[in-house]
Amino acid sequence: MAKKENPDPTHNLVLFNELDSAKETKEFEPEPLQYVDQEDKIHMIYKLVPFGGNYLYSLIIMNESTAPITEVKIRIILPAFLELCRSSPPTLTIDSLESNEGSNIEGTKEKQVKMEFELINANSQKQINLYLCPKLLEKKGKIRSFITFVNNADFIRAIDTDSINIELDPFNIERKIIPQSEIKRFLEKPWIKKANKSIGIGFDGIFDDDFFFEQIVKIIQVSNLQLILKNQSNKISWFCGTDLVSGNDILVIGQIINGKIEWLAASLNPHLLISVLTNFVNSFKREMMLQGLISSEDQIYSLECKYCGNTLPYFPERGKTIECNKCNYEQIAWN
């Protein structure tokens, strides 16, 4: 009878290793999204900063979880003295509100901007930019944001931001004489901020460059800025002064160019630029109404591009399209 051979002593060992290897290479099944913890992982980051002659309110909604959120609804409350110039994204609605907060018995006028996102994916974010143009000085208000969303467990959640206070303080300019040679050096300083307001006036008369140039020069001088240089043929003038409130110097240029009425300003203080330029535009509107050239402030048109904010190259005729020379979008400045 044949002797039975003993099996290879390493055979069981090989099978055992193969079994372990199979277990190790088994595909991992991800945790269902409804079990992903989203608590404290949805955040909002926000800021309000000067942006040229306007303010920029930026809101970032961050989803730091590994599951998406849906039906995201945003409300941003603004004081009524801030006008929305443009936004990114551009699709939104604006409603008027009446707030009874504070000491004002009649309530502080506010408005809310509303927009929606269907989805914010896992580990991603959405940013909203509102470009805000002040309409009145010596006003104060608050900006705050609220969002609601549906989380991965199909519950509605809500979060909000703290309020940002905004107050447009008055300014007090003292005349300052500088040599003409100092103008260029002042503008070339790297820490100097610059801003401008460019407007057009919609009326049926003939646009008289000389008349409107004298109007903007007078408005600048009323603010107690010192005339440094005036070029009548090119319709441009330079002024300088010191703000006694902030202690900052400011250089202002007034000009008429391509049918546009423009003020350009430069200073270390960007908030001062916004206040001064807003004052110039408001003073011009009042003066034009007093002289009977316009019947409504709505006949003064901003010449900022509605898409990128760049200054449009000229003031077009009523109902005519104009192309921005920066973003190339065509638009109608006034009807």
- The 10s digit of each residue's pLDDT in 264-316 is 999 999 999 999 999 999 999 999 999 999 999 999 999 999 999 999 999 99
**Is 308 within the bounds of a domain?**
no
Residues 134 and 232 in one domain: no
Residues 216 and 179 in one domain: yes
Residues 51 and 163 in one domain: yes
- The 10s digit of each residue's pLDDT in 216-252 is 999 999 999 999 999 999 999 999 999 999 999 999 9
**Is 82 within the bounds of a domain?**
yes
CB 69 within 8 Å of CB 184: no
Residues 161 and 207 in one domain: no
- The 10s digit of each residue's pLDDT in 198-215 is 999 998 889 999 999 999
For the record, the structure tokens of 329 come out as 């979008």
Residues 203 and 273 in one domain: yes
36 or 234: which leads in pLDDT: 234
CATH code assigned at 126: 2.60.40.740
**Is 88 within the bounds of a domain?**
yes
**Is 30 within the bounds of a domain?**
no
**Is 297 within the bounds of a domain?**
yes
Residues 6 or more apart whose Cβ sits within 8 Å of residue 178: 186, 228, 240
Of 171, 177, 132, 131, the closest CA to residue 272 belongs to 171
Q: Please state the domain count of the chain.
A: 2
CATH code assigned at 221: 3.30.310.10
Domain of residue 267 covers: 173-302
Amino acid code (one letter) for 325: N
Neighbours of 173 (CB within 10 A): 22
Of 135, 117, 139, the closest CA to residue 126 belongs to 117
| pLDDT value, residue 155 | 92
Residues 134 and 95 in one domain: yes
Of 56, 77, 49, the closest CA to residue 147 belongs to 77
Q: What's the pTM value of the predicted model, to 2 decimals?
A: 0.85
Torsion sign across C-alpha atoms 277, 280, 286, 292: negative
For the record, the structure tokens of 202 come out as 């919609």
Domain final residue pick, 135, 167, 199: 167
- The 10s digit of each residue's pLDDT in 88-142 is 999 999 998 875 544 343 456 899 999 999 999 999 999 999 999 999 888 899 9
For the record, the structure tokens of 251 come out as 């250089």
For the record, the structure tokens of 78 come out as 């603004």
Residues 131 and 216 in one domain: no
Residues 6 or more apart whose Cβ sits within 8 Å of residue 154: 34
Residues 213 and 253 in one domain: yes
Of 197, 88, 47, 193, the closest CA to residue 133 belongs to 197
> Which string of b and e fits 146-165 if b means at least 16 CB within 10 Å?
ebebbbbeeeeeeeebeeee
